[in-house]
Chains A and B, each alone.
Chain A
Amino acid sequence: MTRLGAAPQAALRTQFRTVGVRLRLAGLCFNLRTDIPAVIEHVLDMYIGHEVEAGTGINDFRVYVSYTGPFRRFVRRRIQVFIDSDTIIEPLPLRFACLALEAALNACINSTASKLLLHAAVVERDGLAAILPGPSGSGKSTLCAALVMRGWRLLSDEHAMLRPADGRLQPVGRPISLKNESIALIRAWASDSHFSAIFGNTSEGTIAYLRPPIDSVVRTLETVAPALIVLPTWRVDVPVTLEPLGKSETFRLLADDSMNYHTTQRIGFDTLAGLVDSCATYRLSYGPLAQAVDAMETLASRMRTERASSISATATA
């Protein structure tokens, strides 16, 4: 397999317009087809480290972003998105085409029945994986991006994918969606950050995507055991506070905000309960981003030390 950035770009552009490009994401194969130049360039730029599969084979999803009709590429340009031939995103102005693609990819991942899906960012460093749950606007993606740009591995900024068989987290490794003030904040935080085009005047304000570090993308087959759940809440000018979060409350928050907990029945309960049992759980309120990152680093460092001591004590017992 070849990475998107290493494949001949001109040939890929043709392939997007004709048979589609087969991209591997979150352990799934997506056939992406589009004749919209902005979408092609967005994928080539944001998914540069992802693997492409040659030829034909099993596609888990076929995603097609197209103009709504033969003349819509010229006049009052509008787009629509199909997943496996069904229209899932109704006609939108052309300027929303890249957002529509990302939303379609989210919809595909949300329909994956073999994993428990939580609405959360996931990062990992030195074997310690932290799940950052929270709704849009809670500050989870901003904190996730800041940690990733300080060397944490990105698993996902949107989906914590838990394997029921062993409770391990499946990396997704897609671009991080940032909104409004967070875009400038992360640009200032990391001078080497690479952003997509900026999409203004959406229902959620201004949106831009941060390209995931290549190391995170290359390691998308490396699952990891979760160790920490931190519920972030961002508020202007609030000093950082980190306090324990009850297990019962954690379970309820994660279940309520899960994409498929209520359809996964007993497997979902066992997987989620096992997650909450195995993780330390905290609530993090923060204003300045640097304080939040410091708090996460300190907590993770303490947990690694405790883990090492525990292993050492077991070995010498």
Chain B
Amino acid sequence: MGAQTIDFRSWRLLQPAGLVWRCWDDEYIVFHPWSGMTHYLDAIAGMVFELLLDRAATVHDLATALAALADAPATDTLNSVVQQVLRRFDAIGLAEPMP
């Protein structure tokens, strides 16, 4: 595997005012009105979603915030997990990198 490209872009939710969700048992269930899809977000994806509800953020910002919540260091692994979550959000039309 090659070295992972670092993503310095800020990410934001797409039209967050139209999203509806519930959070139960640390899992977010998000209904996406434009696709009509329901997305089930696990604990980490749910926390990324919750942080993006507040404001746009970079991978580094999000990993740092998650690490603080878990009282753990922001490792490269965590950065990589956040990046994968954001790519998935992008694929399903939930979030996008800001220009």
Contacts and interface: CB of A to CB of B under 8 A. Distances in A.
A283 interface: no
A277 B40 CA distance: 16
Contacts of A246: 24-25, 27
Contact of A276 (B24, B27, B38, B40): B24
Contact of A270 (B20, B24, B25, B40): B20
A251 B36 contact: no
Contacts, number: 36
B33 A248 contact: no
Q: Which secondary structure dominates where chain A touches chain B?
A: helix
A249 B22 CA distance: 12
B31 to A, nearest CB: 4
Interface residues of A, number: 16
Interface residues of B, number: 11
Interface of B: 20, 22, 24-25, 27, 29, 31, 33, 36, 38, 40
Contacts of B31: 266, 269
21 contacts: A246-B24, A246-B25, A246-B27, A247-B25, A248-B24, A248-B25, A248-B27, A248-B29, A249-B25, A251-B24, A251-B29, A261-B38, A262-B36, A262-B38, A265-B33, A266-B20, A266-B33, A270-B20, A273-B20, A273-B22, A276-B24
Interface of A: 246-249, 251-252, 255, 261-262, 265-266, 269-270, 273, 276-277
B38 A255 contact: yes
Contact of A269 (B24, B25, B38, B40): B38
Contacts of A247: 22, 24-25
Given A262-B38, A265-B33, A266-B31, 9 more contacts: A246-B27, A247-B24, A248-B24, A248-B27, A261-B38, A269-B20, A270-B20, A273-B22, A276-B24
Contacts of B27: 246, 248
The 6 A-B pairs of least Cβ separation, nearest first, read A247-B24, A269-B31, A248-B27, A248-B24, A246-B25, A248-B25
Given A266-B20, A266-B31, A269-B31, A248 B36 contact: no
A235 B22 CA distance: 33
Nearest to A265: B36
Contacts of B40: 248, 252
Nearest to A246: B25
Contacts of B25: 246-249
A269 B28 CA distance: 13
Residue among B25, B31, B38 with max Cβ neighbours from chain A (10 Å): B38
A261 B22 CA distance: 16
Contacts of A265: 33, 36
Residue among A247, A265, A269 with max Cβ neighbours from chain B (10 Å): A269
B38 to A, nearest CB: 6
Nearest to B46: A248
A246 to B, nearest CB: 4
